[in-house]
Structure 1
Amino acid sequence: MTGPHVRLLVAVVALLLAVAPGAAPYVAGAQPGSTEFLQVQIDSVTPDIVTTTSEPLVTVTGEVRNVGDRPVRDVVVRLERAAATATSSELRTDLAGNVDQYQPVADFITVAPEMARGQAVPFRLAYPMRSPDQPSLDIEAPGVYPVMINVNGTPDYGAPARLDDSRFLLPVLGVPPVGGSDASASEALDSAVPPDTTRPVGLTMFWPLADRPRLAAGAPGGTTPVRLIDDVLATSLAPGGRLDTMLSAVDFATGVAVDSGGALTRALCLAVDPDLLVTVNAMTNGYVVNDAADAGPGTPTHQGAGQQAAIDWLARLKTLAQRMCVVPTTYAQADLDALRRVADPGLSAIATNAGDIVDQILGITTIRGVSLVGDGPLTGPAVQLLSDQGPTVAIGAAALTGPGDSGGVAPESADTAPVRYTPNVVAAPFDPAVGAALAGAGTTPESPSYLEPSLDLALKQDSEVARRQDALGALLWRSLNPDIEPRTEILMPPLMWNLTPQDAQSMLTTVATGIRAGLAEPRPLPAVLDEARATARSEPMPAGPLGNPRGRFDDGVVSGIAAVTGRLWGLTAALTTDERTGLTGRQYTAPLREDLLRALSLSVPPDARNGLAQQRLTTVGRTVENLFNAVSIVNPGGSYTLATERSPLPLALRNDLPVPIRVQLDIDAPPGMTVTDMGEIVLPPGYLPLKVPIEVHFTQRVAVDVTLRTADGLPLGEPVRLSVHSNAYGKVLFVITLSAGAVLILLAGRRLWHRFRGQPDRADLDRPDPIEVAMSYRDDEGAGDTTQERRTDPVTRRWK
């Protein structure tokens, strides 16, 4: 083949190579393979929220990195977008999985002809929102638009393919004027498209101040100094830390200088974990930290470094709380479903009625009659638990299914209208897709356990910027869709929200922008509660979780907590108040009950919940056992000898607790021993000698078993076996001795009676004849010995 044919073939090949980058994604349009070659990261999106006054150009910057095991050639990127999100489930599904809904904004741009292993190359994509004469995003109306960065390349020994993508949401509050046209300035301004503000959304947002349980388990009340499992709070409360960022952001955003009209302040409500306040308040008096994370009482510790940070942070929170709505979360963010399975009314009451703790520490009055379910699902058992505690409005995730759970039907938006499940419980739901988007923001993104499996997506969003964009889009989604009902919204971020300062500022600025733009209006929490109670429709109890959903506590953990709680309540009922210190039994054991709630905390990642719960449960169970053994009978180690049949049995009781306890003695007496019941004994701290009245009816050595128990019958300490030796006569010997004495006295009296009357005693009638006795004596003259025979008178028995 020569001449024109060769030249024609060369031209065709050159043309194919020139258009290959543009054609590659459609030829290899499948999902990226299991082997990672390239990874794209978004570094900035400008503007993050598009308004009518924004620059008409949308700019996305980032970098592509070769993370594979071989070079990649012909690396190209392209910007694509999908239609505005129409349902809340699309806030999740558009960010992963299928890409058919995305259309290219422009052709591919070459990032690098070849990328070596480990090499990173930056990129920048900038397009107008709309333009008649150049490539643009072609966005004509406000809404929330999914955007994707598509990366293609050809790995060594492979074919051209889409190797990675990164997606995010672009909220458009208003479309800027058309750019790049020949229209005049006034005509261009008229081309701007403002949002529809005829149906603003009544907006309520909770701003969480919470943390994972940090107090070490197994320390009863009155233990000083307070002991923490780690010193994370020292960093978190200090300037730049997580909790400092959360507090500083809301303090600044609701200040008079920024929120002069108070609109944002009325829309926000602080959601404060009582367990965090208890911990921070204890830190202000100094504390120690365990050298090992899972260490129990008595293990080595070191001095904590966050005392001053705790003092400063708590003082700022007290000031802020004076001007803002404050509501307590469930204590330690305990899982209500698991608490219902524990089935202890006292523990449930502590978890759901912790407002007094917040009031006392902050010096305010929190809003009551509301229950923040937290990051778990609002199940039937959870509703029943809340119903048992009295009237309340539960803030929990609404039901929302994804494409895999909807039977092929296109998924709808979450129904967030209030519903009444029981006469006491009304639910004011929030959209779980919005909550999940908020949970994805920050440095440690989490997927809430209330999400249905099909929406619990492993999103490929390694960029904080992309996750922040998703959260901002979710915040504004309902406001930008005027046809979505109801026209109210509750924004419930995760209680363990870990935002950077820029993230926190963006969230609050977005809420304030929506209010100022007329898309939303503040709806204070009291109004939410009143409206929910008044308009709730009746619904059957929500179904419990099926199978073993992610993050559900095991039955072994639940049954263990139930057993330890029962023993702890039994001990608490026996404890009284120490008059010297004022410490009550309930105060002394309260931290241990709170430890059991911390074991059920939803703040722990789902995959680690059961393991950490079992560790804390083991420590608390060991401490409770030690408390029972701290009240005991002192074992004398020898034997007792009773001098009489009524000698008391000496005992000594020991109480190593700092509060008195009401106890009873159980003495297993052998036959022949009677023990007087001493009734209820108030045993003060220290030693108490006792003398137990007994009566013994035998003379021998016996074993006596003595046990100590609470007034309600719970055993205390170890039983003691005493060796008792009795020298006392019994009743039979006493009667015999008494009878013998009486007979002796009777016979002696009879003999004397006869003697005084000169009569022989009949007892002498059977005696032999009188005995003749010969006596020798010396006469007065000394004449010598004389023998004389004398005889006793048979009647008088006198010598004749």
Structure 2
Amino acid sequence: MTTPRRVGKLPRIVLVLGFLALLAMPTTAPAAAGEPGSAPFLQVRVDSVTPDLITTTSEPTVTVTGTVTNVGDRPVRDVVARLERASAVSSSAGLRTNLDGANDQFQPVGEFTAIAPDMQRGQAVGFTFSYPLRSRTAPSLGVEQPGVYPLLVNINGTPDYGDAARLDDARFLLPVLGVPPDPASTSADALTDVVPPDTTKPVAVTMLWPLADKPRLAPGVPGGTTPVRLMNDDLAVSLAAGGRLDSLLSAVDFATSPPVDPGGDTARALCLAVDPDLLVTVNAMTTGYVVSDSPDGLGAASHPGTGQAAAVAWLDKLRALAKRMCVTSTPYAQADLGALQRVGDAGLDAAATISASDIIDHILGVASLRGATVLGDGPLTPAAVDLLGSQGSTVAIAAANCSAQDSATGEPMTADVTPRRVAPKVVVAPFDPAVGAALAGVGTDPDLPTYLDSSLDVPLDHDSMVARRQDAIASMLWRALQPSAEPRQQILLPPLKWSPQPSDAQSMLTALATTIRSGLAFARPLGDVIREAAQAGPGPGPDLPRDTRGGFDDDVVSTVNGQNGRLWGLTAALTTDPRTGLTGPQYTAPLREDMLRALSQTEPPDERNDLARRRLGVVGATINDLFGAVTIVNPGGSYTLATEHSPLPLAVRNDLAVPIRVRLQVDAPPGMTVTDLGEQEIPPGYLPLRVPIEVHFTQRVAVDVTLRTPDGLQLGEPVRLSVHSNAYGKVLFAITLIGGTVLAVLVGRRLYHRFRGQPDPADLDRPRRASAEGHR
């Protein structure tokens, strides 16, 4: 009887144990084989590629080192890796598409290599692959011809509670300018075994080297204010030895120096693209500056900056370099020209483009190259073309249109970089957006340009800096290594706020010099690009893009429009202070420049509009303060006019740093006539004025007085004066005068008779004093 009871309890025990086992299992679903992205377990990073650029004299063996890290929530077992290679890139779009997405174009170079039998959470393990470019007897990369070859590091493993799967990969491009001999070749065959590049169709290459930064000057500070105020002190770090801007300048200075570039070919191919906003800021720093205390940089409280010495040294170095190589200007603060065209102010347009070159010339003491408009951060839109066309002839250096596949044929696309006229006065000299995007990915602050088609997007947060540098170098050289790619010319343009490491900058300038010296390319100065492009006629091509990522909202544009109109109105009324030499346009120029900074494309696309609104809010408050700084001093009492022609005394206060021309608008009641004083120039400080009036009534009245610019813009607040007038002032004055005269005559007559001892006839009818006393 007891046996059945034991049997009855067994299912319940199994059920409880099964429930406890379910509780002990992890809640995350196991990763399916081939789907590592659903739950990342491992991450692979490429640490070095040696050599990074293959030539006929390079080592014939390529060595790739890297690190695998367990970034998941569980251990991973049996971690293995192998190196894979794809065929040479045949289209410029392939420079991007081979770095992401499908991987069926890759073939293994060798077998999987064990990395670690077990990797715990957070553990990192290094690896090394070393293969010859080609070999008849051993596994190799199988590279037989020059070209750009995509390589891939494939990482497999088995996560706990999962199956073996491909858990991550890392991709990069390997540029091969020439194939060195097979390591197994005999010395006699080594020379004939070399595969040199095809140099029969060299590429004319031009590279712009940007020197630019985010806007750093604090908004809302008019000209003549010393010391200047910066939003933060990041620029001091960037200008100092080893900083971003110092490294950029030092790299190009070294690469174009006579010992390194004896023929000057690299120098002729390069042109410094300098942002005038950066120069204005650095030049101001050289005389001392302060830094805002507030985290957003918009507050007025400040402390001394630390970068004065670094600014002096950097600017001196730039001036010396500018004297021996090409220099051109970017738009001021890299302002969005399409948004500026929507603002619709010719003066602001000129400040962004035409005047920018004048600033470069003035600060650097050189004659900068004109005739080109450098658009390194955004596409050339129809609105930007309209703006440029209204200012005269120019060559717009901008990204060409290119996507992953041709919409008509489905084939991979190569960007058409043929210059073409897009407006009567505007020629576009395009650069390949795939190459520009590769350059934008270099360094510590990689960026995805807004001109890049979404089909060519590649995630930037996964690849290492070494891998991104490889991609940039290879992309620079692709057209030179692809004889069939037409036209045989290219412009290399990184983003204007570029952040390469010193080793990155050196590697890219070395690649440029190597391409020229090997005969694959020849230097084409920017001046030649401008002259040749100016001869271009209308050409076929895709329509210019209208909607772009990172565009500015209508409310930002309308705010700029309103503030700019008021500021120009005030500027027209300002004159020059003879004591300081400060002019009206110089006084308000920083506020106009603030509007250009608000439209800067150097800020992240998803933050631009918010940053613009905050900057414009400060600028708008300052403009209001400037209008309120010129006022009529309110006496706080009343005026009494002695006569109907007594002038009305007023005092005008000018708290601006420059004189201003004003007009008085006096709203007088009927019966009061006011003489117009015309334009009055009010110097900084106080100026008393006397307004001639004529009154034809006797009473107390209110008179409203408003101060305006000659164009009618109101300054300060209107003042209401209480005036007591007397229209009979002349009559009263005459009566008083006659009475006084009569009194003087009578007094004179009495004194005359008294001095002669004669009684005054006026007293003859009065009784004598003695007679009066006798009767008492």
Q: Superposition pairs for residues 474-485 of structure 1, below 5 Å?
A: 474-485=475-486
Contact 2:376 2:494 in 1 (8 A): no
Amino acid at match of 2:437: A
State the match for 1:243 in structure 2: 245
Counterparts of 2:499 and 2:37, CA distance in 1: 32
- 1:209 maps to 211
Task: Check the 8 A contact 1:561/1:617 in 2, yes or no.
Answer: yes
After TM superposition, the structure 1 = structure 2 runs for residues 711-730 of structure 1, keeping only pairs within 5 Å, are 711-729=710-728
2:616 maps to 617
- 1:585 alignment partner AA: G
Q: CA deviation at 1:130?
A: 1.1
Whether the 8 Å contact between 2:563 and 2:620 is mirrored in structure 1 is: yes
- Measure how far apart 1:90 and its partner are: 1.0
Per the alignment, residue 81 of structure 2 pairs with 77
Q: 1:82 to 1:198 in 2, by over 3 A?
A: same
Q: Name the residue aligned to 2:191.
A: 189
Deviates more, 1:215-224 or 1:285-294: 285-294
Deviation of 1:293 after TM superposition, in Å, equals: 3.9
AA in 2 matched with 1:117: R
In 2 relative to 1, CA 385–29 (structure 1 residues): closer, same or farther, beyond 3 Å?
Answer: farther
How far off its partner does 1:243 sit? 0.6
Mark the structure with the bigger radius of gyration: 1
Alpha-carbon distance in 2 for matches of 1:497, 1:52: 32
| CA shift in 2, pair 1:31/1:325, >3 Å | farther
Could you tell me how far 1:245 is from its partner in structure 2?
0.4
After TM superposition, give the deviation of residue 179 of structure 1 in Å.
Answer: 2.4
Tell me whether 1:120 sits opposite 2:124 in the alignment. yes
Q: 1:90 aligns with which of 88, 94, 113?
A: 94
Say if 1:381 and 1:544, in contact at 8 Å, map to a contact too. no
Counterpart AA for 2:624: E
2: CA distance, partners of 1:653 / 1:151:
79
- Is this contact kept in 2: 1:375–1:450, CA < 8 A? yes
Sequence identity of aligned pairs in percent? 65
| TM superposition shift of 1:341 | 0.9
Name the residue aligned to 1:564.
563
What's the secondary structure of 1:429's corresponding residue?
A: strand
Alignment partner, residue 137 of structure 1: 141
Question: In the TM superposition, what are the counterparts of 1:54-69 in structure 2 within 5 Å?
Answer: 54-69=58-73
Q: Is the 8 A contact 1:166 1:460 kept in 2?
A: no
The equivalent residue for 1:700 is: 699
- Residue type of the alignment partner of 1:709: R
What is the identity, as a one-letter code, of the residue corresponding to 1:149? Answer: V
Deviation of 1:625 after TM superposition, in Å, equals 0.6
Matched, 1:45 2:44: no
The aligned residue for residue 285 of structure 2 is 283
The code of the aligned residue for 2:677 comes to: M
* 8 Å Cα contact 2:643/2:729 also seen in 1: no
| Aligned-residue offset at 1:539 | 5.5
Instruction: Quote the residue 1:671 is aligned against.
Output: 670
Q: How does 1:257-296 map to 2 (within 5 A)?
A: 257-296=259-298
2:476 maps to amino acid: L
Aligned-partner residue type, residue 114 of structure 2: T
Q: How far does residue 542 in structure 1 lie from its aligned partner after superposition?
A: 4.5
Q: Which shows bigger deviation, 142-151 or 687-696?
A: 687-696
Contact 1:698 1:730 in 2 (8 A): no
Q: Which secondary structure state, in structure 2, belongs to the residue aligned with residue 607 of structure 1?
A: coil
Measured after TM superposition, the shift of residue 730 of structure 1 is 9.5
What aligned pairs does 1:251-650 form with structure 2 within 5 A after superposition? 251-296=253-298, 299-353=300-354, 354-403=356-405, 406=407, 409-459=410-460, 461-538=462-539, 542-546=543-547, 549-650=548-649
Q: Displacement of 1:729 after TM fit?
A: 3.3
- Corresponding position of 2:173: 169
Contact 2:217 2:230 in 1 (8 A): yes
Q: Once the 2 structures are TM-superposed, how far is the Cα of residue 295 of structure 1 from its aligned partner? A: 4.6
For the residue of structure 2 that corresponds to 1:436, the secondary structure is helix
Q: Does 1:152 find its partner at 2:143?
A: no
Give the aligned partner of residue 104 of structure 2. 100
- Give the superposition deviation at 1:617: 0.7
* Segment of structure 1 superposing worse, 532-541 or 452-461: 532-541
Greater displacement, 381-390 / 636-645:
636-645
Q: 1:665 to 1:542 in 2, by over 3 A?
A: farther
Matched to 2:357, the amino acid is: G
Structure 2 gaps of 5+ residues are 1-30, 739-776
- Cα shift readout 1:150-181 (whole Å, capped 9, x = no counterpart): 1111111111111111100000111111223x
Give the distance between the partners of 2:280 and 2:371, measured in 1 at CA: 22
**In 2, Cα distance between equivalents of 1:541 and 1:81:** 34
Q: Who is 2:113 aligned against?
A: 109
Q: Measure how far apart 1:296 and its partner are.
A: 4.3
Deviation at 1:29, TM superposition (A): 7.0
1:584–1:659: 8 Å Cα contact kept in structure 2?
A: yes
**1:521-560 alpha-carbon deviations (Å, 9 max, x no partner):** 00111111111112343458943423xx321111111110
Q: CA RMSD in A?
A: 1.9
SS of the counterpart of 1:428? strand
Query: 1-side partners of 2:451 and 2:528: how far apart?
Result: 26
Instruction: Please state whether the residue corresponding to 2:313 is helix, strand or coil.
Output: helix
Alpha carbons 2:427, 2:536 under 8 Å: kept: no
Separation of aligned partners in 2, 1:66 and 1:590: 55
- Supply the distance in 1 between the matched residues of 2:582 and 2:541 (Cα, whole angstroms): 46
| Whole-angstrom distance in 2 between the partners of 1:149 and 1:544 | 37
Q: Distance in 1 between matches of 2:524 and 2:101?
A: 36
Deviation at 1:603, TM superposition (A): 1.2
**Residue in 2 that maps onto 1:763:** none
Structure 1 residues 524 and 484: alpha-carbon distance in aligned structure 2, compared to 1, 3 A threshold: same
- Post-superposition shift, 1:456? 2.4
Deviation (angstroms), 1:410: 2.1
- Cα deviations across residues 219-278 of structure 1 (Å, max 9, x unaligned)? 111100111111111111111111110011111111111101111011111111111111
Q: Look up the SS of the partner of 1:421 in the other structure.
A: strand
Residue 20 (structure 1) aligns with: none
Deviates more, 1:612-621 or 1:432-441: 612-621
Q: Which amino acid aligns with 1:721?
A: R
Task: State the match for 1:228 in structure 2.
Answer: 230
**Hey, what's the Cα distance between the residues in 2 that align with 1:344 and 1:538?**
30
Q: Are the counterparts in 2 of residues 330 and 374 from structure 1 also a CA contact under 8 Å?
A: no
Structure 1 position 33, deviation (Å) = 2.5
Q: Distance in 1 between matches of 2:322 and 2:83?
A: 45
For the 8 Å contact 1:83–1:101, the answer to whether it is kept is yes
What's the secondary structure of 2:148's corresponding residue? strand
Q: Equivalents in 1 of 2:718, 2:450: separation in Å?
A: 48
Deviations 1:180-226 (A, max 9, x none): 3xx53221331111110000000000111111111111111110011
Q: What code does the residue aligned with 2:553 have?
A: D
TM value normalised by structure 1: 0.86
Q: Which runs of 5+ in 1 are unaligned?
A: 1-26, 742-800
Deviates more, 1:696-705 or 1:143-152: 696-705
Decide whether the 8 Å contact of 1:28 with 1:162 is kept in 2. Answer: no
Alpha-carbon separation, structure 1, partners of 2:427 and 2:87:
36
Q: Does the aligned pair in 2 maintain the 1:96–1:460 contact within 8 Å?
A: no
CA shift for structure 1 position 356: 1.2
Aligned-residue offset at 1:328: 0.8
Contact 1:634/1:651 (8 A) holds in 2: yes
* Equivalent AA in structure 2 for residue 303 of structure 1: P
Change (3 A) 1:446 1:83: same
TM superposition score normalised by structure 2: 0.88
SS at match of 1:512: helix
| Number of equivalenced pairs | 704
C-alpha distance in 2 between matches for 1:673 and 1:708: 19
Where do residues 744-783 of structure 1 align in structure 2 (5 Å cutoff)?
Answer: none
**1:270 to 1:394, Cα distance in 2 relative to 1, 3 A:** same
2:649 and 2:619 mapped to 1: Cα distance? Answer: 35
Q: Tell me how far apart the structure 1 counterparts of residues 135 and 541 of structure 2 sit (CA, whole Å).
A: 52
Amino acid at match of 1:135: P
SS at match of 1:594: helix
Structure 2 residue identity aligned to 1:422: A
